[in-house]
Structure 1
Amino acid sequence: MLALILGVLLLAVTACGGGGAGSGSGSGSGDAKSGKGDSAAAETKQSEAIVSITPKDGAKSVDTSGALKVAATKGKLTEVQVKDAKGTAVEGKIAADGASWTPSTHLASGTAYTVHAIAKDSKGRTAAEDSGFTTLTPKNTFIGTFTPEDGSTVGVGMPFSLRFTRGITSPDDVEKAITIKTSPAVDVQGHWFGNDRLDFRPEHYWKEGTKVTVQLRLDGVEGRKGVYGKQNKTVSFTIGRNQVSVVDAKKHTMKVTQDGKTIRTIPVTTGKPGYDTWNGQMVISEKLAVTRMNGETVGYGGEYDIKDVPHASRLTDSGTFLHGNYWGGDAFGNYNASHGCVGLRDVKGGYDSGVPAAWFFNHSLIGDVVIVKNSHDATVAPDNGLNGWNMSWDKWTA
């Protein structure tokens, strides 16, 4: 009986011990092995690349230039997307070494942006980072008023001219935000007159039929300390037929040419001695069917005040016009009698479409060129009107 009891106890101990040992070396060690394997796999799959975005996520009042930067360490950037709330992408470029990305242009002011960036480490494993921020809302702003108007057809001498509402002290940044595309393609360059005017033109007069598209992306450009642009606009215009008119102050004539061929010769009168007309290339910047001309506005006191000058085309900001003249008698084609303008025969009221002044007015476009030669005055200043053609291309692009 004792032997039987001892045998049963021995069997129970063996069974318990065997079961415990089997469970520990199989399930236990298996669980441990499986755990180590999952951890190693996770470590193997995790990229070593680290993506950093400046400014930090949620940042407010971020500067529109120089603040946005994306970088990667222990890896190379492969993709960077920066978009505003409308989904418009900000153009940028990843550096050749893949270590950084910078925007190609400034950001718009008062705008929320999102950033999504991806980098890969040396084993091709990816890491991603997302962020968002909002740019500053400026207290002081500027815009550019421009000519010609959007959708207009203009003459071959028409520059694209911008006059800014504030003096610009960062001209390169402002000019960089303006792009001009033409069809057919032609090199167009800008030139600053002072700190508040920027004109664009090609080396020679535009080719007839050229289509010009100007993109103003001034929103967010810091034109001067603390003063930002607030203008995004696209302006398009077309170059019409080639008309250039040549006024000979000595012969008292004006030859009107189209495509290099004279279509009409008109008797004129120009500035009398002491009031000589400017020489040089001048561009029609404004057309007025009737206007008032008062000597006091141009420094000539009360020498004249004509309230109904017909068919007037402006050539300079200082007051030079090519206009109809109904009071000039027999001066046209014979002698110079004006106070500096170019006068063409007309009638009071400008009702007769057959007179020379009316004919020229009706056959002219804003942007047509009028060249004056053989006058006793100097050449008109390039910034007196839209007359940058009086500056050499080397000086224009300097």
Structure 2
Amino acid sequence: MLSLTACGGGGGKGADDGKGKGGTQQAERQSTAAVTITPKSGATGVDTSGALKVDVAKGKLTEVTVKDAKGEKIDGTITGSGASWTPSSHLAAATKYTVHAVAKDSDGRAAAEDSTFTTLTPKNTFLGDFTPEDGSTVGVGMPFSVNFTRGITDPKAVEKAIKITTQPAVDVEGHWFGNDRLDFRPEKYWKEGTKVTVDLDLDGVEGRAGVYGEQHKTVKFTIGRNQVSVVDAAKHTMKVTQDGKVVKTIPVTTGKPGYATWNGQMVISERLAVTRMNGETVGYGGEYDIKDVPHAMRLTTSGTFLHGNYWGGDAFGNYNASHGCVGLSDVRGGYDKSTPAAWMFNHSIIGDVVIVKNSHDHTVAPDNGLNGWNMSWADWTK
């Protein structure tokens, strides 16, 4: 018993000494880096911009991983020589996120922190109606145009959320028309065969106070062959060029005196095999109402078309007789594929360019249709 007691007593003293030494070693192994994640874990109704941040005291961040509920990572940047991390873009609305952050102190010892939070669910939202459609093949003049359902008061935030990449690479810049339309284009017409990818990441973007975007789409389209047609209103002709070579010259009629056709570069934005044209819709009262205009292709929002004309008599190639449109000879019903209008319709796609010159009118406004090519690059990029 004495032996056991003595052995036990000796063990107790040794344990005390070991405990003190072990505690010191444990403290020495613990990192002094202190990681802080904002917002706090469990937070709800978090703003989609400016709220997420990771900071560290007495150390440097080495890893920050932020994921949404689907496991998609959110890109970000470590700044301040490792002192903080912020996301590179806004967050999506009504989404749960997880954050994992690691930092090291001056001795290389790591400290980690984890957090979860949920972003706000907006009461007011906006959408962007865009053209061209995903998967389409378009002409060399086609911009990527977005019309917003609400007026935008933070254009920088919205523009930042729309990323455009091309193959081959080309600089593509955006231009605002008012506060509800944003168009993107390169300096010159697209190169044929270019593949364009648009990441329309509006979900969670606060476009105006309390109004958030609610869509995230990827849109891809391809630039087709290079077709540009030049209408000479004085000579009453249209030369159709492909890859810079004239492939067809077509007699036309343009706007008569008092109704001259716009000059300038216009982009085909709509193709209609047959449509009704009523003068009342464009401010011309009851001057005309043609219920079956064949082979019609829209050039402006205000009502300028390149279209078939079966009532024009001998005007084509001889004199200007229209109310501002560019007319090509056709037959009623558009059944004859050999007519100039039918040929033009069947050889055109959305995004092709039609240039009008020598008309007795001003140059078409850049926002009257998809016609931003009538702005200089310097004005476009202001």
Q: Same fold (TM over 0.5)?
A: yes
| Selected match of 1:92 from 76, 81, 91 | 76
1:119 is aligned to 103
C-alpha distance in structure 2 between counterparts of 1:370 and 1:332, whole Å: 17
SS state at 2:23 partner: helix
Deviations 1:7-63 (A, max 9, x none): xxxxxxxx97x9977865x42331221011111011111111100011111001100
Residue identity in the other structure for 1:29:
K
C-alpha distance in structure 1 between counterparts of 2:164 and 2:6, whole Å: 83
SS state at 1:97 partner: helix
Q: Name the larger-Rg structure.
A: 1
| Selected match of 2:293 from 287, 305, 309 | 309
Deviation at 1:97, TM superposition (A): 1.1
1:41 is aligned to 25
1:170 is aligned to 154
1:158 aligns with 2:142: yes
Deviation at 1:163, TM superposition (A): 0.3
1:208 aligns with 2:192: yes
Residue identity in the other structure for 1:226:
G
Residue identity in the other structure for 2:17:
K
1:27 is aligned to 11
| Selected match of 2:132 from 139, 148, 171 | 148
1:138 is aligned to 122
C-alpha distance in structure 1 between counterparts of 2:4 and 2:285, whole Å: 122
SS state at 2:146 partner: strand
Residue identity in the other structure for 1:246:
V
1:66 aligns with 2:37: no
2:182 is aligned to 198
Matches within 5 A, 1:1-398: 24=9, 26-398=10-382
C-alpha distance in structure 1 between counterparts of 2:15 and 2:335, whole Å: 105
C-alpha distance in structure 2 between counterparts of 1:370 and 1:35, whole Å: 88
Residue identity in the other structure for 1:100:
S
C-alpha distance in structure 2 between counterparts of 1:56 and 1:143, whole Å: 31
SS state at 2:164 partner: strand
C-alpha distance in structure 2 between counterparts of 1:19 and 1:277, whole Å: 114
Deviation at 1:206, TM superposition (A): 0.3
C-alpha distance in structure 2 between counterparts of 1:19 and 1:221, whole Å: 75
TM-score normalised over the length of structure 2? 0.98
SS state at 1:384 partner: coil
C-alpha distance in structure 1 between counterparts of 2:81 and 2:166, whole Å: 35
Residue identity in the other structure for 2:252:
V
SS state at 2:380 partner: helix
C-alpha distance in structure 2 between counterparts of 1:19 and 1:232, whole Å: 76
C-alpha distance in structure 1 between counterparts of 2:77 and 2:195, whole Å: 30
C-alpha distance in structure 2 between counterparts of 1:200 and 1:22, whole Å: 86
Deviations 1:232-280 (A, max 9, x none): 1000011010000000000000000000000000000000000000000
Residue identity in the other structure for 1:281:
Q
SS state at 2:16 partner: helix
SS state at 1:269 partner: coil
C-alpha distance in structure 2 between counterparts of 1:31 and 1:364, whole Å: 91
Deviation at 1:221, TM superposition (A): 0.3
C-alpha distance in structure 2 between counterparts of 1:241 and 1:57, whole Å: 54
Residue identity in the other structure for 1:181:
T
1:6 is aligned to none
Residue identity in the other structure for 2:210:
G
C-alpha distance in structure 2 between counterparts of 1:149 and 1:331, whole Å: 37
Deviations 1:121-157 (A, max 9, x none): 1111111111100000001111101111111110000
Residue identity in the other structure for 2:167:
S
% same residue: 77
C-alpha distance in structure 1 between counterparts of 2:352 and 2:53, whole Å: 47
Deviations 1:176-198 (A, max 9, x none): 01111111110000000000000
C-alpha distance in structure 2 between counterparts of 1:257 and 1:237, whole Å: 22
Deviations 1:152-173 (A, max 9, x none): 1100000000000000001000
Gaps of 5+ in 2: none
1:9 is aligned to none
C-alpha distance in structure 2 between counterparts of 1:107 and 1:192, whole Å: 24
SS state at 1:83 partner: strand
C-alpha distance in structure 2 between counterparts of 1:19 and 1:181, whole Å: 81
C-alpha distance in structure 2 between counterparts of 1:19 and 1:130, whole Å: 49
Superposed CA RMSD in Å reads 1.3
C-alpha distance in structure 2 between counterparts of 1:273 and 1:27, whole Å: 115
SS state at 2:250 partner: strand
